[in-house]
Structure 1
Amino acid sequence: MKPIASVEEIRDKVRKLEGRVSSSIIEELEKKLIEIYEKNGLYEEELDRILDEVVKRYESSIIEPGEPVGTVAAQSLGEPSTQMTLRVFHYAGVREFNVTLGLPRLIEIVDARKKPETPIMEIYLEDDYKYSEDKAKEVARKIESTYVENVAESITFSPFEGVIVRLDPGMLEDKGVDVSDVVRAIEELNLGEVEVDEEGHIIRVKLSEEYMDFTKMEKVRQKIASTKIKGVKGIRKVIIQKRGDEYVLVAEGSNLEDVMKIEGVDWRRVYTNDIMEIERVLGIEAARAAIIREVKGVLEDQGLDVDIRHIMLLADVMTWTGRVRQIGRMGVAGEKPSVLARATFEMTVQKLIEAAASGETDYLTGVPENIIIGQIIPVGTGLIELYATLGGARKHKEEG
């Protein structure tokens, strides 16, 4: 067996596959073969066998002309999803958070819900912060929303003293908040005069006369309790996880745009499971990638192995118009150009009446509409249209 002499020899052989396999496969194959060569060495016969196997597998995975890829994708995603459990699981071993997984999460994604039931963010930190727990805690404090009720022992009211907020010194320290921060947040509400006792642990809000009845005072008490002192809007809780050498923040709630601006956050690696927010902040391609990642994650969590190309097709169908659409009557199914295809899904009579009123034409280019009228469907051999000149055939027979 003859050993490979250089990296260039590998590159030359791999580049001969151009036109036979896709450029992305050539790039990945070249990279991996060079890694193997530099680590263990490589023989010519081994390289040839690897390249032949790659071409063979690539050609066997190519879709045949006329294959109903949509139907196959729908079956490949729909059938395994019936095996899913209808429960909500804990998130990646973190007991503080619950995240919707399994079938409820899959339905949430394909329905393109405006907000997920349990939004979660993964926040990675920059090099100066990710190796230090103290610095990670510092960033977490900036992100986590802290409200007056989080740092108060009690919040009460009386007709004579107004609203009385008794602060918890331990919670103030834990949340990284000063008494002055609490006072400032309450003063911004403009409810009345704010006084702090000598020890600084009791804040009295002397209300103006318009609030001096029990119903209004209770509303004011609740308003003060829910007043935000600091943090990012929508982020209810942040915990710190150690993954390998680095610290990562996991947040309950989602606010991609504001979190990306926080000092110490690696904005290139921030992730949220809120697909509509990803579309709004980062664009439709990012939303497509998020749909693929989320669906793949849901299926893998359940131990289901579905080819990534089916998931990619689902994501493409949901996003190709430039916005995220649901798979349903308010989205993909309801926006089909065929009247009969729309009528087969839901609200049959209504769809037919609407089409008749607007004078629509159905050109019978899809599958459902051809099944309805009993024609051959445009799938597989049904895609082929044969034309023959009968007169020419008769003339040729007579001459023969």
Structure 2
Amino acid sequence: MSVEPWFIVAMVLSLSGYGIYLAGLRRHLVEPSRASWLIWAVATGIEAATYLAVNPGRPQGLVFVVSALSCIVVTLAMWRRSRWSRPSTTETVCMAASLAAIILWLPLQETFWAHMLVVGAVPLGFWPTWASVWEDRARERSPAWGLWTLGDLATLFVAVRSHGFGVGEYAYILVELLCHASVWLMVGLSTISPLRAFGVRKEGLRILDAYVPANPFAVRETHLGKAVFAARGFARGETLLRFSGPTVPATRVPGRLSGAADRFLRIARDRYMGPSGRIDDLINHSCAPNAGLRFTDDGVFLVALATIESGEEVAWDYSTTLADGDGTMTCACGAAACRGRIGPFAELPADTQRRYRALGVVAPYLDDQPEPVVQERAA
């Protein structure tokens, strides 16, 4: 029995897309929506199973099975960068739809309607990604979206050539095709080029792609591990990026965290901001920082405290968010004025505390601490 050429094309494109996306994830060249991938990991598994039940023997069903497994692999790769947070309304609706599909499929044996229910939940899974790309299309810079779109098109050809019929045959293929194509259009059709997605080196600095203004940072290795470097210049006072991540009560912050494992930012006496899984998790400490955190009603923003040149590492002083009782750590930032340890804000020299307060880069919950008293030397 001969193998349908379009089936091979669909498999190659789909697997290539997942492989390239996973490579970009490991190199921090994409900033995926954790919500979308968690939804897809569940929904694609259910969809693959119900599709095969509705359309037994169809070769395109194998494409969906492989895609579901690959989706789970990518989601697991993101797991270490994720923290639990309360599901959004969209996530809740999508998870409820997946649960309802399982109930229809297994106990009630309504496979067709279970299949259609999951098909309807697919766009909900894409909603967090659409919102993320709308805010910054560079977050999903990857040839994967183009490869997945073309893979869906090849899968559609397989369905047509195998004489498929009915809404149960084509609904999922068409919905996936439209959703993948929409993201590909949003990030730019030129991202199909691997060179643009993986970047090129120029004078030792990795240029990510044409969207440098939207994603003006590069991640490189230093003696401390991964670090964030400016891919363009920033003026003093300019906002660099917004810190994000789930709000975590102090009672739920794991103990004994240190080094790369400690991605928690204290934002109040009883609350922390957990890891975001994005580039803000990788910004290191410096005792002579060129950036600082500014807390506003709209969020926590990293701002430049001095002119930052292209190729310069971006760093802020962790002590500006630490209170008495917070753990201390050894500092190896390498600055000429390195203090040797990172400790509470109250332990900083008095003039350093005043300078940080004047710059507006001290966590607000620390502002109720008294100004340091400087003892006058006797004449």
TM-score range, shorter chain: under 0.3
Rg comparison, structure with higher value: 1
Q: Which has the higher contact order (CA 8 A, sep 6+)?
A: 1
